[in-house]
Structure 1
Amino acid sequence: MDVATLHRGTVDHWQRALAAVGPDDWGRSTPCAGWNVHDLVNHVVGEELWTVPLLEGATIEDVGDSFEGDLLGDPVTAARRASDAALAAVAAVDRYAPLGGMVHLSYGRENVEEYVLQLSADHLVHGWDLAVAVGADTHLAPELVLGVSTWFKEREHMYREAGVVAPRVEVTGDAQTMLLAAFGRDARWAAAV
């Protein structure tokens, strides 16, 4: 599966989880320590808003603080803004991923394919985080799990050393359970009621 197809699939997964968020869900806890549903969606929307300018060649300095703080506003606006940002990000990836090249990230220059794989992992895992937080379908498509797992296998130690992911959860299980564990998630997590 090419990276644009993987990205599109993970964004579709994210969008389905987002569609399940009800008006009373925004304050619910998530598997992400310290983040409620609003914080989680705000994080992913921020990533999506960065996608277009970075793929168009902007630097971190060019964008500045445009995508900091609360990007969502009220819940109705939040859902619409999140959906619009996801669609714009998909269109940008579809356009720029086949061209290759480099993007400017917070840690330096990175090739476009690697950046799109990072975005894909973020959408897939945070889509699960969102779905489990609001009681939606948490099943991840096996081809998406395989795509992200294959990419992350050689990077897990770097992400963990950088403190970007929580400690690995020691479990055994299917490919989805193992992917979640690699990203520091326990597939048995349940939102507090």
Structure 2
Amino acid sequence: MVIVELHARAVELAAREVDGVRPDQLDLPTPCVGWTLRRLLEHCVGQHRGFAAAARGAGPDLALFADAPFGDDPAGAFRRTALELTGAFRETAAAARPLWLPEVRDGGPFPFAQAVGFHLLDTLVHGWDVAVSLGSPDGLVAAVDGDDELAAALLTVAAAVPSTPEARAPGRAFGPGAEPADGDGRFARALALLGRDPAWKP
């Protein structure tokens, strides 16, 4: 299934950003208000585990998506759990089993391809969060913008995220959307749609 392979490409791009995180950088601020880089990565690792469990048939158990501490090895934890997740998605692709995602709207179940798209978006946006927190987002942005299929998938999912005040309230995953600037690339346009400032700096 195409979306599964696009997701795997997104995960690898994000993992390359996480590979560059040093233990002494884990207290850096991120675009996620109030979250340090450590908290952001603990969230990502927890999401890997939760989506993998959902792909393997787990019900709507919010505890499966809990943030996961990783000590001083963020890259190792990110890659190990990402490998588990991509494997679970590939195993489930043929059956296209719907996934329960208790953190999303009513929890589902969501069609398999849609659920994978949710995590593709989360992966690339949080990969950007990591990169921009480290002061070097240009490589990731260029890689996504240079991959027509991946950039199109990201924009499609970003455009489908509800933009109601309730969905974009404080504490939600995404803030109020903004109009992309003229000349912005596709990654920057997706970030703006999701309430991220493509020009954010620590």
**Fold agreement, TM-score > 0.5:** yes
1:166 corresponds to which residue? 175
- Structure 1: state its 5+ residue gaps: none
Contact 2:96 2:113 in 1 (8 A): yes
Contact 2:151 2:186 in 1 (8 A): yes
Report matched runs for 1:63-102 at 5 Å: 65-69=63-67, 71-76=68-73, 78-102=74-98
Report matched runs for 1:125-164 at 5 Å: 125-136=125-136, 137-139=139-141, 140-142=143-145, 143=148, 144-157=150-163, 161-163=166-168, 164=173
Contact 2:55 2:92 in 1 (8 A): yes
Counterpart of 1:157 in 2: which secondary structure? coil
Counterpart of 2:201 in 1: which secondary structure? coil
1:20 corresponds to which residue? 20
Contact 1:167 1:184 in 2 (8 A): yes
CA distance in 2, matches of 1:87, 1:113: 18
Which residue identity lines up with residue 37 of structure 1 in the other structure?
L
Counterpart among 179, 182, 191 of residue 180 in structure 1? 191
CA distance in 2, matches of 1:185, 1:72: 25
Count the aligned residue pairs. Answer: 186
Which residue identity lines up with residue 66 of structure 2 in the other structure?
E
CA distance in 1, matches of 2:178, 2:144: 21
Instruction: Specify which structure has the bigger relative contact order, considering alpha-carbon pairs within 8 angstroms and separated by 6 or more residues.
Output: 1
Which residue identity lines up with residue 189 of structure 1 in the other structure?
W
Report the CA distance between 1:126 and its aligned residue.
Answer: 0.6
Counterpart of 1:60 in 2: which secondary structure? coil
* Deviations 1:31-79, CA, capped at 9 Å, x for gaps: 1111110111011111100122111111134xx635535x224212x33
Which residue identity lines up with residue 147 of structure 1 in the other structure?
A
Deviates more, 1:108-117 or 1:98-107: 98-107
Counterpart of 1:122 in 2: which secondary structure? helix
- Structure 2: state its 5+ residue gaps: none
* Deviations 1:137-174, CA, capped at 9 Å, x for gaps: 3424123222110233233426x642331111344122
Which structure: greater strand fraction? 1
Which residue identity lines up with residue 63 of structure 2 in the other structure?
D
CA distance in 1, matches of 2:90, 2:96: 11
CA distance in 1, matches of 2:65, 2:200: 30
Deviates more, 1:140-149 or 1:180-189: 140-149
Q: CA RMSD in A?
A: 1.9
Which residue identity lines up with residue 112 of structure 1 in the other structure?
F
Percent identity, please.
27
Query: TM-score, with normalisation over the residues of structure 1?
Result: 0.87
